[in-house]
Amino acid sequence: MHIDSPTTHASLHDSPTSLRQWLSVLAVAVSAFAFVTAEFLPVGLLPQIAHDLGVKPGVAGLMITMPGVMAAIFAPTLIVSAGRMDRRYVFLLLTMVLLLSNIVCAVAATFPMVLVGRALLGAALGGFWTLATAAAPRLVQTKDAAKATATILTGVTCATVIGVPLGTFIASFASWRLSFAATAGLVAVALLAQVFLVPSLPSASALRLADFKTLLGRSHTRWSMLMVALVFGAHFSTYTYIAPLLEQDFSLSAITLLLFGFGLVGFFSNAILSVVVSGHLKKSVAVMTLLLLGAISSMFLIDHSPIGETVGMLVWGVAFGALPLCFSVWIQRGTADLPEAGSAMFVSIIQVAIAAGSAVGGAIVDRASVDADFAMGCGLAVLGLATLQRVVALERPATESTLKGICDPSPD
């Protein structure tokens, strides 16, 4: 499927990306910041919300699971339903739903009502990330596509640097409800940025269900998606319950600082990797997954060492600050002929990993222990590395075949 737009035509030339184009990328990055802040706000507030609404921490983890389930469903279905609708208007509608979601959570009197608000978030989230990762190359010149993707994903790391810790900080002196209300204000700012800065993004052809079938017919795509699911599952099955683990050794204010540090190093990790990821994609994925494995394992093997857990959190931040960018570029390259279908599948897989990881992790936390949950996360990370090796092995025969054709062009 080919998506045509004025930006696409302009990208055929070597002219530099204009300031206006970079501002449109910035507007999407601000929106990404708002979406991720809203999605993971409950991570730092989990104990307070659970206590206030009278549920167990594992049950409260459904606030992370619910958006993941909804996003996995809506990522492909919403984009297919949108047909040829201008993607700019889809962006605006999804952000309005996000605004409503945070308002519902802020005023909810019961936990089921909070889950309704979180379901609205998930419905908007799946469509947003499908559009955001697919739209990044359309907003700038071709040579700046990787930088545009990295800039939008900077919104993710900024949310972990500022958004989630700020929500925890607000709750420490006010309430978790005010944290959701403040996030609603942030979403309103993102909505205004889209209105004034994001250009028209017409789609020349609608996404079809057959496009998904085409991608799933490729073994490279299937193994790549499995790799993404395992690594993201390793992260979210553990990170969702990081507050119950850390509160054994740290105060709420100290946890806020740790979450800030996690996001801060992630911000720089994303920025540095954006420069080298294009030329060293496989190595980047391998190294960052190894760092993730090391960080998760250290959190429960160190056994209540504040210094060790602090170092583990920072290493974890480096790993996860870069992994979304690495995997996004990986999927963009592997599905370049069907970008929106690839993006929708990518988002769905991530959200399934978030939902399944947080749900299974919550069950383990409630029935066994936080340490047992982190042990499972390590196992998922190891499987992710094994799957990466499999994907690389699949690529090797194709590369060798190409080289043979160059060296020996004769049909014999």
pLDDT in tens, 352-389: 887 788 888 888 888 888 889 999 999 999 999 999 99
Is the pLDDT reported for residue 28 higher than 60? yes
Q: Could you tell me which residues come within 8 angstroms of residue 363 by beta carbon, excluding any fewer than 6 positions away?
A: 58
pLDDT in the model for residue 142: 77
**For residue 96, what are the CA distances in angstroms to 27, 105, 128, 163, 167?**
15, 15, 11, 19, 21
Instruction: Tell me which residue range forms the domain holding 288.
Output: 20-395
Q: Does a structural domain hold residue 81?
A: yes
Is the torsion defined by CA of 126, 129, 132, 137 positive or negative? Answer: negative
Q: Give first-to-last CA distance, the chain, whole Å.
A: 35
How many structural domains is the chain composed of?
A: 1
Q: Summarize pLDDT for 271-305 with one digit per residue, the tens.
A: 888 788 878 889 999 999 999 999 999 987 886 78
pLDDT in the model for residue 187: 93
Is the pLDDT reported for residue 50 higher than 60? yes
pLDDT band of 6, cuts 50, 70, 90 = very low
Separation between Cα atoms, residue 46 and residue 384, nearest integer Å: 28
Of residues 383 and 151, the one with the higher pLDDT is 383
| Proportion of the chain above pLDDT 90, given as a percent | 28
Q: Does a structural domain hold residue 146?
A: yes
Is the pLDDT reported for residue 258 higher than 80? yes
Q: Summarize pLDDT for 324-360 with one digit per residue, the tens.
A: 889 988 988 888 788 778 888 888 888 788 778 888 8
Q: Does a structural domain hold residue 60?
A: yes
Q: Does a structural domain hold residue 104?
A: yes
Residues 220, 337 contacting (CB under 8 angstroms) = no
Is the pLDDT reported for residue 409 higher than 70? no
pLDDT band of 312, cuts 50, 70, 90 = very high
- Residue 278: both structure tokens together: 């294009």
Average confidence score pLDDT of the chain: 83
Is the pLDDT reported for residue 49 higher than 80? yes
Is the pLDDT reported for residue 10 higher than 70? no
pLDDT in the model for residue 206: 65
Q: Does a structural domain hold residue 406?
A: no
Residues 114, 62 contacting (CB under 8 angstroms) = no
Separation between Cα atoms, residue 192 and residue 270, nearest integer Å: 26
Q: Could you tell me which residues come within 8 angstroms of residue 196 by beta carbon, excluding any fewer than 6 positions away?
A: 27
What's the whole-number mean pLDDT along residues 106-112?
Answer: 91
- Residue 154: both structure tokens together: 């900077």
Q: Does a structural domain hold residue 401?
A: no
Q: Does a structural domain hold residue 402?
A: no
pLDDT band of 98, cuts 50, 70, 90 = very high
pLDDT in the model for residue 95: 93
Which CATH number fits the domain that encloses residue 225? 1.20.1250.20
Q: Does a structural domain hold residue 411?
A: no
